[in-house]
């Protein structure tokens, strides 16, 4: 099932002045989508700015949650093999229509990072924990 109003979502994205580097095809997110994850009923996909994350450089994540009623409460990341997290705490802000912007991400080492997207849907917490390898 596709989003009922894909064009209105596009307009809303433009209306709040965002660079259209996130392409939204609506919910549900196809299982083969890159940069996506799910936990229970919650799906997420994301893009970053810059598109290629650089070691030690801040980046912004744009996260789309499905269903759009899900809330993104918190984002964190750790390197499980090294038993450390990030040196900064990112901030999360809602953009509406299931879109969220995460600022202040910095991955200070190359290697495997485990993202932690803490979400809530209908009062139930769901943590999405995809792995991302930074080269
Ligand atoms: Cu590390």
Residues in the chain: 135
User: Is 122 contained in some domain?
Assistant: yes
Q: What is the mean pLDDT of residues 50-62?
A: 96
Query: Cβ neighbours of residue 127 under 8 Å, at least 6 residues apart?
Result: 39, 116, 117, 118, 119
Q: Which residue has the tokens 């509406």?
A: 96
Q: What is the pLDDT of residue 6?
A: 45
User: Is 1 contained in some domain?
Assistant: no
How far, in Å, from the CA of 109 to the mean position of ligand 1? 5
Measured distance CA(62)–CA(92) in Å, rounded = 10
How far, in Å, from the CA of 87 to the mean position of ligand 1? 11
User: Is 62 contained in some domain?
Assistant: yes
Q: What is the mean pLDDT of residues 88-112?
A: 96
> How many domains does one find in the chain?
1
Q: Give me the CATH number covering residue 25.
A: 2.60.40
User: Is 115 contained in some domain?
Assistant: yes
Q: What is the mean pLDDT of residues 19-23?
A: 49
- The phi-psi region of residue 122 (left if phi > 0; otherwise alpha if psi is between -120 and 50; otherwise beta) is left
User: Is 56 contained in some domain?
Assistant: yes
Range of the domain at 95: 6-134
Q: What is the mean pLDDT of residues 66-74?
A: 97
User: Is 48 contained in some domain?
Assistant: yes
Q: What is the mean pLDDT of residues 77-94?
A: 97
- Tokens representing 93? 């802000």
pTM of structure: 0.81
Average pLDDT for the chain: 87
How far, in Å, from the CA of 54 to the mean position of ligand 1? 14
How far, in Å, from the CA of 52 to the mean position of ligand 1? 18
How far, in Å, from the CA of 42 to the mean position of ligand 1? 28
User: Is 41 contained in some domain?
Assistant: yes
């Amino acid at each position: 099932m596709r989003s009922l109003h894909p064009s209105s979502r596009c307009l809303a994205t433009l209306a709040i002045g965002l660079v259209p580097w996130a392409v939204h095809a609506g919910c549900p997110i196809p299982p083969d989508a890159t940069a996506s994850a799910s936990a229970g009923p919650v799906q997420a996909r994301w893009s970053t700015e810059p598109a290629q994350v650089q070691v030690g450089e801040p980046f912004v994540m744009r996260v789309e949650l499905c269903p759009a009623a899900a809330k993104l409460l918190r984002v964190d990341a750790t390197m499980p093999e090294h038993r450390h997290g990030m040196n900064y705490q990112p901030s999360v802000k809602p953009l509406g229509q299931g879109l969220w912007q995460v600022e202040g991400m910095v991955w200070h080492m190359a290697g495997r990072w485990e993202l932690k997207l803490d979400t809530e849907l209908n009062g139930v917490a769901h943590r999405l924990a995809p792995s991302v390898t930074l080269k």
